[in-house]
Amino acid sequence: MKTLMIKTHEVWLEVLMAGFMSKTQNKQVLFDFSDILFRHFTWIENELIELGESYSYDRDQIPIKVERLSDLLKNIIIRLNEIDLQLISSPDKALAARISTDIHYIRDVIHHMSDEVITAFNMERTFPGVALTQEATDALTLFLFEESYKEYELIMIYNYLKAHSDDAYMNRIFQILIDESFFHLKSFGDMQAKMGLLAVPRIVMKELYQVDDVVKFLKDGINEELAAKEECKKLSEAVAKDSPELEKFFDFINHQENYHISLMEDALKHFTKDTNA
**CA torsion, points 253, 256, 261, 262, in degrees to nearest 10?**
170
CATH class of 1-118: mainly alpha
Sign of the torsion angle spanned by Cα atoms 76, 82, 85, 88: negative
Domain ranges (residues) in the chain: 1-118, 121-277
Q: For 206-218, what is the mean pLDDT?
A: 90
Helix, strand, coil: what percent of the chain each, to 5? 75, 0, 25
pLDDT digits (tens, 9 = 90+) for 131-149: 888 988 998 999 999 999 9
Decide: 184 and 259 in contact? Cβ < 8 Å: no
Q: Of 33-47, 213-227, 234-248, where does the model show the most confidence?
A: 33-47
Q: For 198-227, what is the mean pLDDT?
A: 90
Decide: 197 and 145 in contact? Cβ < 8 Å: yes
Decide: 72 and 64 in contact? Cβ < 8 Å: yes
1-118 and 121-277 have identical folds:
yes
56 — phi, psi (to 5°)? Answer: -140, 175
Q: Is 83 helix (H, G, I), strand (E, B) or coil?
A: helix
pLDDT of residue 276: 59
Higher-pLDDT residue of 18 and 232 is 18
Q: Is 117 helix (H, G, I), strand (E, B) or coil?
A: strand
pTM of the full structure = 0.94
Q: Which CATH number fits domain 121-277: 3.40.190.10, 2.60.40.10, 1.25.40.10, 1.20.1260.10?
A: 1.20.1260.10
